[in-house]
Structure 1
Amino acid sequence: MPLTTLLDNRWVASRWPKERRQDGVSYTVHNTVHKALAGIADEDARFAKILHPPWHEKSKTHRWTQDAAKREVGQRVNHPTTVQEKINKVHDLLEDEKVAARVATDLLRQPQVVSEVVEDQTAMHLVNRAQVDRSHRIAAQRLEAVPQPTKQAIQRAREQVRHNREYIDLVGACATFVAAAGQIMPTLRGHSFTEEERERVHANLARVRGATEWIGQAIDTGDLSLDEGLAALLRGE
Structure 2
Amino acid sequence: MGDAEFSVRRSLTELAEDIGLKFSTVRNARWAVSRWPEEHRQSGVSFTVHRILGGIEDEEERFTAIRTPPAGKSRWTPDDASRRMGRQVETPVSPQEKISAIHSLAQDDEVAAQVTGDLLRRPKVATKFPAEEKARVVEEFTRDESIAAQAATNLLRRPDVAFKAMSDDGARQQVNHAQVERGRQARAEFEQTHELAPVVKHFERTAEFLDLITACHAFVAKAGRTVPGLCDRRLGAVERDLVHERIAKVRGVLTELRPEFPQVSDLLRGLALADA
TM normalised by structure 1 equals: 0.51
Match of 1:94 among 96, 103, 106: 106
Distance 1:163-1:17 versus aligned 2 partners, 3 A rule: farther
Paired position in structure 1 for 2:119: 107
Aligned twin of 2:153 = none
**Residue 39 (structure 1) aligned with residue 55 (structure 2):** yes
Aligned equivalents of 1:120 and 1:51: distance in 2? Answer: 48
Q: Are residue 51 (structure 1) and residue 67 (structure 2) matched?
A: yes
The count of residues paired between Structure 1 and Structure 2 equals 135
Alignment equivalent of 1:15, drawn from 35, 48, 53: 35
The Cα shift of 1:69 comes to 0.8
Q: How far apart are the structure 1 equivalents of 2:60 and 2:121?
A: 52
* Contact 1:55–1:63 under 8 Å retained in 2: no
What is the CA–CA distance in structure 1 between the aligned matches of 2:124 and 2:93, rounded to whole Å? 22
1:94-148 Cα shifts (integer Å, max 9, x gaps): 112112112211211222111112x1524522422432x2235777xxxxxxxxx
Displacement after TM superposition at 1:22 (Å): 0.4
**Structure 2 match to 1:216:** none
The one-letter code sitting in structure 2 at the alignment partner of 1:124 is A
Partner of residue 135, structure 1: 145
In the TM superposition, residue 49 of structure 1 has moved relative to its aligned partner by 0.7
CA distance in 2 between counterparts of 1:163 and 1:73 reads 59
CA offsets per residue over residues 40-82 of structure 1, 9 Å max, x none? 11111111111101146xxxx4211111111110111111111
Counterpart residue identity of residue 108, structure 2: D
Q: Does 1:3 align with 2:28?
A: no
> Quick one: structure 1 residues 137 and 83, their matched pair in 2 at CA, closer, same or farther if it must change by over 3 Å?
closer
Q: 1:8 to 1:129 in 2, by over 3 A?
A: closer
Confirm whether residue 62 of structure 1 aligns to residue 74 of structure 2: yes
Query: Is the radius of gyration larger for structure 1 or structure 2?
Result: 2
| Structure 2: tracts of 5 or more residues without a match | 1-15, 17-21, 150-172, 179-276
Could you tell me which runs of 5 or more consecutive residues in structure 1 were left unpaired when the two chains were aligned.
140-159, 166-237
Provide the rounded CA distance (Å) in 2 between the counterparts of 1:81 and 1:107. Answer: 19
Amino acid in the other structure paired with 1:134: D
2:7 equivalent in structure 1? none
What does the per-residue CA deviation read over 1:150-171, in whole Å, with 9 as the maximum and x for residues that have no partner? xxxxxxxxxx949979xxxxxx
Instruction: Classify the secondary structure of the residue corresponding to 1:62.
Output: coil
For the pair 1:125 / 2:145, whether they are aligned, the reply is: no
Give the aligned CA root-mean-square deviation in angstroms. Answer: 2.6
Q: Distance in 2 between matches of 1:62 and 1:6?
A: 30
Shift in alpha-carbon separation, 1:123–1:22, aligned structure 2, 3 A: farther
Q: Name the CA shift for 1:20/1:4 in 2 (closer, same or farther; >3 Å).
A: same
Task: Show the counterpart of 1:71.
Answer: 83
How far 1:13 moved relative to its partner? Answer: 1.1
- For the residues of structure 1 that align with 2:122 and 2:24, how far apart are their CA atoms? 46
